[in-house]
C-alpha cells in the first residue's frame, strides 16, 4: 500500500525524516569544505608571485586530475562552461551545426553549444539514470535524421548534427556503453559533460573519459571547488594540445613575439585557483565517501515516508552523489511546490530540478524530440542538502 494512497501528513513526515539527518538548524543545499592544505598552498602561491594563468599549481592540478580520472590529459580552464565551449570546437562543432543535448540539464550545456554558433537539439532522459536515454535517442534519430555525405542530417532543418552531449545528472552516470554505440552508428562525436560527476565511475572507469572529450566544473557548489574553474579531459594528445593552445589566446611559442594563429580564448585557470584545487583534490576521496554515507542515511530515514524515494546510483555505477535528489511519486507541480515550501520553511534549503531547456526563452524554438520523461522529472525531482559535512 505504501505510495499508493497519500497519508495527509506525508509532507511533514518527509520534512521530519530529512531533519533527522541534517540536524535542527538551517542547512544549505551545498557548501564547500576547506579542511586541508588550502591556506598553505594559497600562501605558497602568493609568495611565488605566480598568481595568474601560468604557474606550477596549474601544471600540478592538471597532472593530478589526469591521474585521478585516468584521462591521458587534463587542461584546466576558467570554468565548466568555457570547458564545454572549447570541447565543442574540439569535437568539430561549427556554426550552423546542431548538437544533441538533454533537455534536462543545467543551462551551461546548451549555452556552450549556442556560443559556438550551433543549435542545441534537445533529447529525452532516462527514468533510471536521469541522464540521456540511449533508446529514445536511437528511436528519435532513426525517425528524424539521415546519414548523408558521411554526416548525420536533421531531415526537418537540413542542418548537420555533429555531436551528442551526455551529462551525468547530479553525479549519477548515464548509460555510456549504449550512448557510445548510438553515437558510433550515427557518426556523432561524444562530448561528455561530467561537470557534476567528478569521482563517479561507470563500470569502474571515471566519467568524462568515455567520449572524444569530457569536461569538469569546479564551481563553488560542485564536489570540489577552485572558486571558479573547469577542465577538459581527453585521451587524444593532439586534442589536448589544441585545447591548451585555444584556451591560451592561440599564442605561438616564441621568446618575445606575439603571434597568434587563430582567434583564441583567454580561458586558462589562474595559478591561484589551481592552488585551491590541488588542496581540494587531496580531499576528494573523503568528500565522495561522505556523500555516499549521506545518501545511505537519507535513504534509511525516508524508507517509511509515503510517496517519496531517494534517487540511488544506477547498477554498475559508483556515484559521487553530488546533489542528493528525491523523486515524488505523484506527478504534478502542486505537490512539488508544496514540498519545496515546507522544506524551505523548515530551514532545509531545497530546489526543484532545472527548468527544462526548451521552456527557457533562448531555447524555446530549438529542435527537440518528444520529452515525456524529462517533462515528468521536471515536476517530480527535488534536490535536498548535500554537503559532505552533513554525513557527520
Ligand X SMILES: *Cc1c(COP(=O)(O)O)cnc(C)c1O
Q: Which residues bind ligand X (CB under 6 A)?
A: 79-81, 84, 105-106, 108-109, 167, 193, 195-196, 217, 219, 230
B/e letters for 176-204, b = 16+ CB within 10 Å, e = fewer, are bebbbebbeebebbbbbbbbbbbbbbbee
Task: For the CB of residue 79, give the shortest distance to ligand X in the complex, in Å.
Answer: 4
Q: How far apart are CA 322 and CA 30, in angstroms?
A: 9
Which CB contacts under 8 angstroms, 24+ apart, belong to 6-10?
A: 6/306, 6/307, 6/330, 7/306, 10/305, 10/306, 10/307, 10/308
Residues 360 and 357: their CA atoms lie apart, in Å, by: 5
For the CA atoms of the chain, what is the radius of gyration?
Answer: 21
**Which CB sits closer to ligand X, 81 or 189?**
81
Q: Which residue is nearest to ligand X (CB)?
A: 80
Q: Any residues with CB less than 8 A from the CB of 124 and at least 6 apart, and which?
A: 102, 103, 132, 133, 136, 137, 140, 369, 370, 371, 372, 373, 374
Looking at the Cβ atoms of 167 and 188, the one nearer to ligand X is: 167
Residue labelled with grid coordinates 568528500: 287
Task: Please count the CA atoms within 13 angstroms of the CA of 17 that sit on its side-chain side.
Answer: 25
In angstroms, give the least distance from the CB of 171 to ligand X: 10
Cα–Cα distance for residue pair 64/68, rounded to 1 Å:
6
C-beta closer to ligand X: residue 307 or 377: 377
To ligand X, the closest distance from the beta carbon of 41 in angstroms equals: 20
Distance between CA 190 and CA 366 in Å, rounded?
20
Residue (201 or 216) nearer to ligand X, CB: 216
Say how far apart CA 378 and CA 336 lie, in whole Å. 10
Whose Cβ is closer to ligand X: residue 41's or residue 106's?
Answer: 106
11 vs 164, beta carbon nearer ligand X: 164
Q: Which is nearer to ligand X, 154 or 383 (CB)?
A: 383
Amino acid at each position: 500500500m505504501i505510495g499508493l494512497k497519500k497519508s495527509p501528513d506525508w509532507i511533514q513526515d518527509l520534512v521530519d525524516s530529512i531533519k533527522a539527518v541534517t540536524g535542527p538548524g538551517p542547512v544549505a543545499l551545498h557548501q564547500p569544505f576547506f579542511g586541508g592544505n588550502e591556506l598553505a598552498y594559497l600562501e605558497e602561491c602568493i609568495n611565488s608571485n605566480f598568481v595568474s594563468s601560468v604557474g606550477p599549481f596549474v601544471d600540478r592540478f592538471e597532472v593530478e586530475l589526469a591521474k585521478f580520472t585516468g584521462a591521458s590529459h587534463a587542461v584546466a580552464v576558467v570554468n565548466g562552461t568555457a570547458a564545454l565551449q572549447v570541447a565543442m570546437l574540439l569535437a568539430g562543432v561549427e556554426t550552423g551545426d546542431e548538437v544533441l543535448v538533454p533537455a534536462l540539464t543545467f543551462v551551461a550545456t546548451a549555452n556552450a553549444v549556442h556560443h559556438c554558433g550551433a543549435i542545441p537539439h534537445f533529447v529525452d532522459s532516462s527514468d533510471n539514470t536521469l541522464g540521456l536515454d540511449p533508446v529514445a535517442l536511437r528511436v528519435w534519430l532513426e525517425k528524424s535524421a539521415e546519414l548523408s555525405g558521411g554526416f548525420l542530417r536533421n531531415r526537418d532543418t537540413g542542418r548537420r548534427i555533429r555531436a551528442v552531449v551526455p551529462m551525468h545528472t547530479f553525479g549519477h552516470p548515464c548509460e555510456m556503453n549504449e550512448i557510445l554505440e548510438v553515437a558510433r552508428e550515427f557518426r556523432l562525436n561524444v562530448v561528455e559533460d561530467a561537470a557534476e560527476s567528478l569521482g563517479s565511475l561507470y563500470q569502474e572507469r571515471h566519467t568524462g573519459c568515455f567520449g572524444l572529450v569530457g569536461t569538469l566544473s569546479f564551481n563553488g557548489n560542485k564536489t570540489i571547488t577552485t572558486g571558479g574553474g573547469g577542465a577538459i579531459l581527453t585521451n587524444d594528445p593532439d586534442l589536448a594540445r589544441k585545447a591548451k593552445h585555444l584556451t591560451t589566446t592561440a599564442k605561438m611559442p616564441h621568446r618575445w613575439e606575439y603571434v597568434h594563429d587563430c582567434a583564441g580564448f583567454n580561458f586558462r585557470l589562474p595559478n591561484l585557483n589551481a592552488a585551491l584545487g590541488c588542496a581540494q583534490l587531496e580531499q576528494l576521496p573523503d568528500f565522495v565517501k561522505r556523500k555516499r554515507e549521506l545518501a545511505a542515511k537519507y535513504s534509511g530515514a525516508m524508507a517509511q515516508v509515503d510517496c517519496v524515494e531517494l534517487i540511488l546510483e544506477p547498477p554498475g555505477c559508483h556515484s559521487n552523489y553530488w546533489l542528493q535528489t528525491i523523486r515524488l511519486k505523484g506527478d504534478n507541480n502542486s505537490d512539488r511546490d508544496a514540498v519545496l515550501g515546507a522544506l524551505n520553511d523548515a530551514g532545509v534549503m531545497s530546489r526543484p530540478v532545472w527548468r527544462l531547456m526548451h521552456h527557457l526563452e533562448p531555447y524555446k524554438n530549438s529542435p527537440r524530440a518528444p520529452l515525456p520523461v524529462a517533462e515528468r522529472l521536471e515536476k517530480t525531482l527535488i534536490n535536498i542538502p548535500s554537503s559532505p559535512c552533513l554525513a557527520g
